[in-house]
Amino acid sequence: MLAANLDAWAVLPAMMPRQIIHVDYVVSNVLLQGSAVSGVLDFEFAAPDYRAMELAGALSSFALGNRLEAADWPLIEALTASCFTMVRFREEELRSMPVMLMRRYIVSFIHRAGRWREGLSSREHVIERWTDLMWLQAWLASFGSELVDRLIRVANYPPSA
């Protein structure tokens, strides 16, 4: 699985937009005022990366974090549409979303495993991240193509030939 993701990551288009991204876009780092986002906290992991990784993080944290057995398409589409009010992702960025999501979950697992080895996290947290990773792999096998199709539809890109 790791090798397959490395291979997929290596062939992502070199011209895909890169920028400094937050990288830790999770529920606990978002401030709300009523139902509107009023701020984002915790930029300790901010770094240059593919900008589509920010959308992958948002999808991971806000739409996929509950390990849904079926896809919550209305939530995924609403989250994606709200992201599009700030950034107009290119079609190749949206097509790369399964790879971006796998990368996010793999890095999260490795991060947690490293913290466990340093005595900063529990073994249970490592197992939880591994379980999340296995769940995502199965979820993408079932819904990955539909996810890409829906992201492209939300972005109003014409279907590819």
CA–CA gap between residue 50 and residue 73 (Å, rounded)? 24
159 domain-assigned: no
Given pLDDT bands bounded at 50, 70 and 90, which one contains residue 3?
Answer: confident
> Would the pLDDT of 159 be above 70?
no
Total domain count for the chain?
1
Give me the percent of the chain exceeding a pLDDT of 70.
Answer: 96
Full domain range(s) for residue 108: 2-154
* Distances, alpha carbon 83 to alpha carbons 79, 86, 114, 154, 155, in Å: 6, 6, 31, 11, 10
Stated pTM of the model:
0.87
161 domain-assigned: no
Q: What is the CATH number for 138?
A: 3.90.1200.10
The 10s digit of each residue's pLDDT in 65-88 is: 777 666 788 888 988 888 888 888
160 domain-assigned: no
**127 phi-psi bin (left φ>0, alpha ψ -120 to 50, beta other):** alpha
Mean of per-residue pLDDT scores for the chain: 88
Terminal-residue alpha carbon distance, the chain = 29
User: What's the gap between Cα 76 and its chain centre?
Assistant: 11
CA–CA gap between residue 137 and residue 33 (Å, rounded)? 35
CA–CA gap between residue 133 and residue 131 (Å, rounded)? 5
Could you tell me whether strands 36-40 and 47-50 are parallel, antiparallel, or unpaired per DSSP bridges?
Answer: unpaired
Give the pair of three-digit tokens for residue 11. 């062939």
The 10s digit of each residue's pLDDT in 11-46 is: 887 779 999 998 787 788 888 888 777 888 888 889
